[in-house]
A and B are shown apart, each in its own frame.
Chain A
Amino acid sequence: MNSQTGCWAVSALLSLLLAPLLPGIINRVKAFFAGRRGPSFFQLYYDIAKLLKKGCVYSSTATPILRLAPAAGLAALLAGVLLMPFGMNSSPFAFTGDILLFIYLLGFSRISGVLAALDTGSSFEGMGASREMQFSALAEGAFLAVTGFLVILTGKFSLTETLNGFTFGAWSYSGTAMLLIAAAFFLVMLAESCRVPFDDPETHLELTMIHEAMILDYGGPDLALILYGASLKLWLLASFFVLLILPCGMTSTWLNTAIYFVSVGFTAVMIGVVESVMARFRFLKVPQFINAATALAVLAIIFMIVFGEVA
């Protein structure tokens, strides 16, 4: 096992451990803006520990889909973890084309949640599922456009090689394009991880929920899996965002890894700031903003092709 693989393994394990910290950071930033102290950084760990001790209650009208979905959703995300080059270290599981697999693993995780929500037969969950599908169908396009940019930039087709496959040169030759793509992905990240302004993870108002409405019927260990899965998904998307911005420039792998973790934490702070300074969009506006992300990504591709220097 070379040092890259070792570094990746350590980073991946750390990522799995630290994922529930991200919502904690976001909530503390929001609390700071609101003039409150806010919950502990480790609140999600406590919540998950508490939920794991509890039992589950299932509706008698629901099918086994409801019970399978949380595990299936988390399993898909864990598979996604294997492909992500954590800490700018190449994933040992990388293969050509895994970038599409990654996107659709996220998609699988989502569809399992949607099917479970429809399975409950509740009008709230049905509404949540319908919204989730509408918005994620659009967000998928934006996500694909971003990966398209990376593929053209690096000429490679695996997540590891595209995210780690460019140097500082990309910023100096195609700075505008990189900036646009970063903005586009930031929007995708907020939409996919159900954050303000697209969704509000804190709300108690059933009628305005998207993701939260879909998990209303869950409790106990199932809910713990879902909450953990949501934080892991946020971690994956934040990782993607960080690696998309940061070129793999340092000579020391450990230094790269350290920069990566600090950046992921900083991304959470940024999300917290965005959530604090703006209100949530009305639903009619959500598709417009996701489409704007797609447009930015396409614009970035055009800029790069026309003005940039392909690596």
Chain B
Amino acid sequence: MNNTFLKIKNATAAPLASVPLVSFAEFRDAVKQAVQEHSMRVASFFAMPEENGDHRMTVVLCGDNTDLLYLLSFRAGRRYPALTADMPQFHWFEREIAEQYGIVPENHPWLKPIRFHRTLDNAPDAWGRTDAPTAGVTDYFRMQGTAAHEVAVGPVHAGVIEPGHFRFQCMGENVYSLEIELGYQHRGIEKMLLGGPDKKTQHFMETAAGDTTVASATTYARIMEALCGCTVPGRAQAIRALALELERIANHTGDCGALAGDVAFLPTASYCGRIRGEYLNMTAEICGNRFGRNLVIPGGVQFDIPQTMSEKLLAWLDRIRPELFHALDLFFDTPSVLDRFENTGTVSKEDARAIGLVGVAGRACGLGMDTRQSHPDGGYQLRPIQPLRPANALTGDVLSRAAVRYGEIRHSERYVRDWLKALPEGDVCTELASTPAPDMIAVAITEAWRGELCHTAVTDKNGKFRRYKIVDPSFHNWFGLALALRGQQISDFPICNKSFNLSYCGHDL
């Protein structure tokens, strides 16, 4: 492949100057070749203001066949021709940039704000607005005709869930189009991270998406370790990987239970709800918090797992395992449940690749991505995780997404056991060698339970964050849910939604 890109390993840093800064045409052609011919996907794409008022646009590409991350930049003024036209997976990123820095991607097919906030530098945004917009107040896609009707759901929902607005264009029970509007959870994390790291940074990372705390904190820690030059002890890496897999098991279990609840299949719903708590409590056993807060910090982890605790956790896993798989098997063996899930909310493999689905949703469409395999880091380098065995007949429907979760629960459970039986000896934390190096760019990717979580940090000449870009897996996947609903029954929306179970706050930041 061409040598236009800077190629670095996962969780490493490079001088910002080493990222090639090319013309837009060169940039577009190189990225297009990588995406279309080498099946790479856009892990991150962001703008960063420069001193002369222009913006430096940087892309991070990630592929299944290489353990390298590909970086490339171009300089943009106020406008540039949208990349979405050639590569649909850019569409959400370009909308984000238009909103964050007011750079207009010309001929973008659906240029609307995604989070409804002021630009990061308080300049006018791509729509010429300088005031703070109200979330959800915008024009929506509408279907004309007397038989067409519109159903609006949210942002306030029945049930304790996060806010999001869903507009359905329906004919009777059939959905023709779904538009998802988010931004209600926007807290301005990326803006608050500028000038960091400071005391609050760790907190922002852990609360970017509360159910992804371990993955988020680990990714941030890897960024800091790359920028500061620090070797993390093996024991700490193992505990991080272990906690990350516990997080995955807990969330997948909860999701399977929630799916059962939505089709009114009670036994699995109740059991999985409780068993999810067991896995959360295991994390709490390690660090005192069910979601793993304060566990992972730059330099290592704050809590060790002594021998007695390993044994206790192993016995605990042994006790829960039969209950969990009994509840899940019951669910997957009940014809009325399978009937609801099969051929519901299907996203084709081609669409999934084109819009850049990641994680569970991507794997359910038959895409074989898993960054623990392709870009192993930390604990996954010390103890490679077995390749995920794809479930049979993955067609991208609700059943496939449920089946992928089921497989990952088994897979992760085994991995956690392996670590608990043989944790490396040594310390669990080291001091960071120094403050972050100046004028560097660092990229870290972690396979969070929803999919790959990508952090990119750029430091200024004082070693402070000039830009810190977080790309939550939900950011890639929300549009997948909208696609999944096309041509479906509106009453199947809840199970489609649960089968993706995307994060609102992780997207809104």
Contact = CB atoms under 8 A, between A and B. Distances in A.
A208 B491 contact: yes
Interface in B456-502: 489-494
B437 to A, nearest CB: 51
B309 interface: no
Interface string A265-302: 00000000001111111111100000000000000000
B264 A280 contact: yes
A282 B339 contact: yes
B263 A127 contact: no
Contacts of B159: 204-205
A272 B269 CA distance: 16
Contacts of A64: none
A307 B158 CA distance: 54
B266 A285 contact: no
B270 interface: yes
Interface stretch (B46-54, B146-154, B359-367, B445-453): B146-154
A62 B262 CA distance: 31
Interface in A146-196: 196
Contacts of A30: 266
A123 interface: yes
B334 interface: yes
B263 A279 contact: yes
Interface in B336-350: 336-337, 339-340, 344
B344 A207 contact: no
A124 interface: yes
Nearest to A212: B158
Contact of B152 (A34, A36, A123, A284): A123
B264 A279 contact: yes
Contacts of B173: 127, 131, 283
A200 B261 CA distance: 10
B24 interface: no
B153 A276 contact: no
A206 B334 contact: no
A279 B337 CA distance: 5
Contacts of B493: 207-208
Contacts of A284: 489
A277 B153 CA distance: 30
A284 B42 CA distance: 39
Interface string A22-58: 0000000010011110000000000000000000000
A112 B158 CA distance: 25
A277 to B, nearest CB: 8
Contacts of A36: 270
Nearest to A205: B494
Given A207-B494, A282-B344, A33 B267 contact: yes
B176 interface: no
A15 to B, nearest CB: 28
Contacts of A202: 264
Given A33-B267, A204-B159, A275-B264, A283 B151 contact: no
A197 interface: yes
Nearest to B151: A123
Interface string B323-355: 000000000001011011000100000000000
A251 interface: no
B419 interface: no
* Interface-central residue, B266, B270, B337, by most chain A CB under 10 Å: B266
Interface residues of B, number: 32
Contacts of A277: 267, 334
A3 interface: no
Contacts of A124: 151
Contact of A205 (B158, B344, B489): B158
B484 to A, nearest CB: 14
A203 B270 CA distance: 14
B270 A200 contact: no
A279 B158 CA distance: 21
Interface in B143-178: 149-153, 158-159, 172-173
B265 interface: yes
B303 interface: no
B266 A34 contact: yes
Given A200-B264, A204-B159, A34 B270 contact: yes
A35 B265 CA distance: 13
Nearest to B327: A35
Contacts of A275: 264, 266
B334 A34 contact: no
Nearest to A206: B158
B490 A207 contact: yes
Contacts of A35: 267, 270-271, 274
A270 to B, nearest CB: 16
Interface in B262-292: 262-267, 269-271, 274
A56 B416 CA distance: 54
Contact of B266 (A204, A206, A276, A281): A276
A278 B336 contact: yes
Contacts of A282: 339-340, 344, 489, 491-492
Contacts of B336: 197, 278-281
B421 to A, nearest CB: 31
Interface string A75-98: 000000000000000000000000
Contacts of A197: 264, 336
Interface in B233-277: 260, 262-267, 269-271, 274
B274 to A, nearest CB: 8
Nearest to A272: B266
A281 B334 CA distance: 12
Given A123-B150, A207-B490, A278-B334, A285 B267 contact: no
Given A127-B490, A202-B264, 12 more contacts: A34-B269, A34-B271, A35-B271, A123-B149, A123-B150, A131-B173, A197-B264, A279-B263, A279-B340, A282-B344, A282-B491, A283-B491
11 contacts: A30-B266, A33-B266, A34-B270, A130-B172, A203-B262, A207-B153, A207-B490, A208-B262, A278-B265, A279-B265, A282-B491
Nearest 5 Cβ contacts at the A-B interface: A34-B270, A279-B263, A280-B264, A279-B265, A200-B264
Interface of A: 30, 33-36, 123-124, 126-127, 130-131, 196-197, 200, 202-208, 275-285
Interface of B: 149-153, 158-159, 172-173, 260, 262-267, 269-271, 274, 334, 336-337, 339-340, 344, 489-494
